[in-house]
Structure 1
Amino acid sequence: MNHKQLSDSQLFEQYKKQVTSERRNTLLWQIIIFISFFSIWEFASQFGLIDRLIFSSPSQIWTLFLEKLQDGSLWYHLRITLFETIAGFFIGTIAGIILAAILWWSDKLSKVLDPYLVVLNALPKVALGPIIIVAMGPGYFSIITMGAIISVIITTLVVYSAFNEVDVNYVKVLKSFGASKWQYFTEAIFPASLPAMISTFKVNVGLSWVGVIVGEFLVASEGLGYLIVYGFQVFDFTLVLYSLLLVAFFAAIMYQIVEKLENILIKNK
């Protein structure tokens, strides 16, 4: 028995080392790709292999980053876009989950609304931007609405589907103990659907950034979306790429936060 326990312990340690090694290898390759991309970009720009006016270079973008950091404009524009994106992300995601719960609760309502949800999901939500801005007026609220509306329908459809795919045996067991519909929703349906919700969060990170940046394209006079449009207008493509890299960087941070949340929920589960 002691020999078996020792053997199991050794196997577990080997498994942990293997997982750690795989994570390190993944991180190493990510760093290699990152450094290689910017090195090739810089090399191609310096030696005229690409048009320096259009594609700029990492060194030029870094110089601009330091300038914007020193004069405070980086934080001014960044905080506005971050606020709008985070607000749009939470509003869109929470509203989608609530709508999915309402549809799950009422079979009749879900049957009535199902074709409309499919049609709304097929519509290019970005095209609704001008209508939203005209209806709500230019400002933070219309841009946040753009960030939210672009993700709310897909969240509703994915989460509602996850609710319906939960093993019916869980519900049958709870019903046999006299549980109410609310109880088996909170005790079985909702917890079992958490992985699908987390997957939706990951998708919504990108969708929220798209919605907000498009909203800023249309109406804003501040924020990263405004800087991108302004950069195109004055043919300052270094400013455009600087803004795009900031969007990519902070979208990646939001994605990592969602992944950490996923790990915490899975461990607690």
Structure 2
Amino acid sequence: MATTLTLASTPDAAPAPSPEYRAWRTREQRRRYWILGTQALLLALFLALWEVLARTHLVNPLLTSYPSALWPAFQDLLRNGDLLGHTWATLKATLIGFTLSMAIGVAVAAGLWWSGFANKVLDPFLVVANAMPKIAFVPIFYIWLGSDYSVYGMAVAIAVFVTIMVIYEGFQGIDPNKIKLARTFGASRAQVLRLVVLPGSVPTLIAALKMNIGLALVGVIVGEFQSANAGLGFLILNGSQVFKLNIVMTAIVVLGVLSGLMYLGIARIEAALSRRYA
């Protein structure tokens, strides 16, 4: 009897996963390993092909360098302290431009959603501003903001208009029945925006994050090409001017690694938001 009472008072244990579920998890894990392995294989094949083509002079190694020559250049730049300083300058400018672009993009998109009149007035201007070649603004930003801050201006200029349009389209795609239901229960327009539109636009916001980080980095590199005295873009330009392709290719590889790390950061944000707003 005592045993029966004890068992009855014990909380129900979680049910064991079914064989079908375990098999599905095994397949998914195997598939993930295959994807990672294939990605690593493609990268290794690319590096091997690059090395072989340059070593056999099927391509001019003076113009392309080759992977085994980049390691000494990387060590030299790292030892001199140039690489870390230039990488940090590019990363800092990218993160600042990315943050500003997202903040401005969300705020302006919310304003356009709030006021249909403002959307009708500003829509053609946003389209034209997005279509304009932003590199034309480099001299203007240099005059207005100086060599240090013009890079931030370029990052924002390249990223912000696309961000506004993408996020606004996401806001417009919210189910109108959800908005109508919230208004029926007495929600104000601000509450609808905060409780319905923003949470419902999480996939769009994630897409904007992924797109914006790349655009901000492009803007930073363009700005560094034109007016900066530090950063990976400056290192690439300076190396090409003195025909040191090892430095140029090393900076490009570091730029690729930096892009990958920022992508992983965005992926972590995506996973956190997806769990919260699933």
Query: Does TM, scored on the shorter chain, surpass 0.5?
Result: yes
> Per the alignment, in what secondary structure is the counterpart of residue 131 of structure 1?
helix
Q: Is the 8 A contact 1:93 1:148 kept in 2?
A: no
**TM-score (normalised: structure 1):** 0.94
Are the equivalent residues in 1 in contact too, given 2:150–2:227 (CA < 8 A)?
no
Which amino acid is 1:168 matched to? P
Query: What is residue 245 of structure 1 aligned with on the other side?
Result: 253
CA-to-aligned-CA distance 1:190-243 (integer Å, 9 cap, x gap)? 001011111111111211111011111111122111111111111111111111
Candidates 88, 93, 105, aligned match of 2:102: 93
* Structure 2 unaligned residues grouped into runs of 5+: 1-13
The aligned length equals: 264
Offset of 1:15 from its aligned partner?
2.0
Corresponding residue to 1:266 among 253, 257, 274: 274
Cross-structure match for 1:172: 180
- Within 2, Cα distance between the matches of 1:253 and 1:114? 34
Match of 1:28 in 2: 37
Q: Which of residues 46, 71, 81 is equivalent to 1:37?
A: 46
User: 2:152, 2:54 → 1: CA distance?
Assistant: 37
Matching residue of 1:133: 142
| Pairing 1:116–2:125 present | yes
Cα drift, residue 6 of structure 1? 8.1
Distance, in Å, in 2 between the alignment partners of 1:228 and 1:70 is 18
Q: Which has the larger radius of gyration?
A: 2
| CA distance, structure 2, for counterparts of residue 161 and residue 68 of structure 1 | 45
Alignment counterpart, residue 171 of structure 2, candidates 163, 169, 191: 163
Is the CA contact 1:42–1:57 (under 8 Å) kept in the aligned structure 2?
yes
Task: Name the % identity.
Answer: 35
CA displacement 1:48-81 (0-9 Å, x = unmatched)? 2211111101111111001111221111111111
- The code of the aligned residue for 2:62 comes to L
Show CA shifts across 1:80-114 (max 9, x none).
11111111111111111111011111111111101
1:15 partner amino acid: W
TM-score by length of 2: 0.91
* Aligned-partner Cα distance in 1 for 2:136–2:28: 45
Contact 2:70 2:249 in 1 (8 A): yes
Q: Does 1:63 align with 2:108?
A: no
Tell me how far apart the structure 2 counterparts of residues 16 and 155 of structure 1 sit (CA, whole Å): 36
**Contact 1:89–1:204 under 8 Å retained in 2:** yes
Give 4+ residue runs of structure 1 displaced > 6 Å after superposition: 5-8
Match of 2:6 in 1: none
Gaps of 5+ in 1: none
Let me know the Cα RMSD of the aligned residues: 1.5
Instruction: Give the one of 91, 97, 116 matched to 1:107.
Output: 116
